[in-house]
Amino acid sequence: MHLVPADRADRRTIDGHRVCDAIAAIGEPGHVRAWSDRFSLLADPKRLALLLALHRTGPLAVSDLAIATGMNDPAVSQALRLLRAAGVVEGEKEGRIVRYRVVDGDVAALLKHCAADG
């Protein structure tokens, strides 16, 4: 099990075999990146508040979200655009009203986890 890439194979290790275990534990860079990106979306208090409201209350309109969170409309809209681009939420148009809801299962699980101890 020599998982250490060639460009750093000459560096001295403390626990050689544990380094290989660690590399295996980290897994694919793309996978790690996907999760860190997901966590980034939850790392902002305003966005997290929006997602908690959507997750626990269900479909909500933009201006209602603005009132509930104390944000102004453009801020809510911009946050939802980010979340929509990431595939976390989806909006359903009904006349001039758009109601958003959480559609990403992984994020929903994280939100449930974070609401469990509240």
Partner DNA sequence: TCGATACCTGCCCAGATACGCAGCTATGCA
Partner DNA sequence: TGCATAGCTGCGTATCTGGGCAGGTATCGA
81's contact among DNA, its own copies, none, with CB below 5 to 8 A by partner kind, is: DNA
Shortest Å distance, C-beta 113 to DNA: 21
Question: By 3-state DSSP, what share of the chain in percent is helix, strand and coil, each rounded to 5?
Answer: 65, 10, 25
Q: How far apart are CA 64 and CA 66, in angstroms?
A: 5
79's contact among its own copies, DNA, none, with CB below 5 to 8 A by partner kind, is: DNA
Please measure the distance between the N-terminal and C-terminal CA atoms of the chain and give it in whole angstroms: 44
Q: Which is nearer to its own copies, 46 or 84 (CB)?
A: 46
Query: Contact, 54 vs 100, CB < 8 A?
Result: yes
Residues that bind DNA (CB under 7 A): 12, 14, 40, 43-44, 46-47, 61-64, 71-82, 91, 95-99
Give the contact letters, 41-60, x = binds to its own copies (CB under 8 A), - = no. Answer: -xxxx-xxx--xx-xxxx-x
Q: Residue 3: how many CA atoms within 13 Å on its side-chain side?
A: 14
36's contact among its own copies, DNA, none, with CB below 5 to 8 A by partner kind, is: its own copies
